Amino acid sequence: MAQEKPVDTLPDIDGETVGRFYDHLRANPLSAAALAHGEAYIGQECLLTPEEILTFAKAAGVTSGTAVLDLCSGTGGPACHLAQQLGCHVVGIDISAVGHAQARARAQAQGVTHLVQFQHGDVQTVEFPAAHFDVILGFDSWCHVPQRAHMLQRCATWLRPGGRLAFYDHVERQPFPPEQCQAFYTLWHFPGLETPESYIALVKAAGLHITYEVETSAHAIRYYTALLDIYVARRAEFEAARGVERYQEGLARLQMTQRIASQRLLGQIGCIAEKPVEETRHARNRPH
């Protein structure tokens, strides 16, 4: 289960709120994520480089023809990158209307519309057929989902037997200082974070078998330090593009995040888990 916190420290977050938050960020052509990643930017809003995304997807079994669901796909960078590099078929879904439009434009520009399909919707209510996907991916975005246990259970249903769930996400490695806790969650529109232990427990409770687990909190320090440095260095551009009030809000968010990441309170984990093959299939394959 998610670690328990006092009720007054957790903001009331729903999909529409998160969608509006990212619509505001993505509507502006000056992308902090793009500047932070520099030449390694492929449209990803996660902490990972393109090489790390590709390596992780391969470890999860993504190859040519693999049916992939990118859950909370953002502006479509990882989905299009994997389709280009590996030839997999990807369905991406995201709550942000602006992100959805940008993802579709990205797929068109990169010539992968025959491999990638993007949907605008809420991951908590979207429906897919059972046993439909080989791999379900998430890149630092499920931290916005309020009912993660329910989402993971649905993911297990959507996976084919032997299919894999593979994700990176933010975690709370140690309790945040009380004076920062509510501010952090409110500024990022997080309904709360899992601990590494609680996240793995939720995956197992969904009936999936953990095959790979890694603690990668150095990624959080690397990314948020670069993001804050860029944000401060190009203050005039960000203020002109977003306004002084929104710049100050973003600055407070990044300063707090970089600080708690450097203190190793905020971290990241990666996980790959497999859906067991049904016992009946094992029985059919046993020698008589």
Q: Residue 160 sits in a domain of what CATH number?
A: 3.40.50.150
Q: Which residues, other chains included, contact 101 with Cβ-Cβ below 8 Å and sequence gap of 6+? A: none
- Kindly indicate the confidence band of residue 29, based on its pLDDT and cuts at 50, 70 and 90: confident
Give the number of domains in the chain.
1
Identify the CA nearest to 165 among candidates 177, 152, 179. 152
Would you call 11 exposed, middle or buried from its count of C-beta atoms within 10 A (0-12, 13-18, 19+)? middle
Task: Confirm whether pTM is higher than 0.85.
Answer: yes
Within-domain flag for 2: no
Within-domain flag for 234: yes
More confident residue, 16 or 170: 170
Within-domain flag for 264: yes
> pLDDT over 90 for what percent of the chain?
78
Write out pLDDT tens, residues 46-92. Answer: 999 999 999 999 999 999 999 999 999 999 999 999 999 999 999 99
156 has pLDDT over 80? yes
Write out pLDDT tens, residues 161-174. Answer: 999 999 999 999 99
Within-domain flag for 249: yes
Residues of the domain holding 17:
7-203+216-276
Within-domain flag for 284: no
More confident residue, 239 or 285: 239
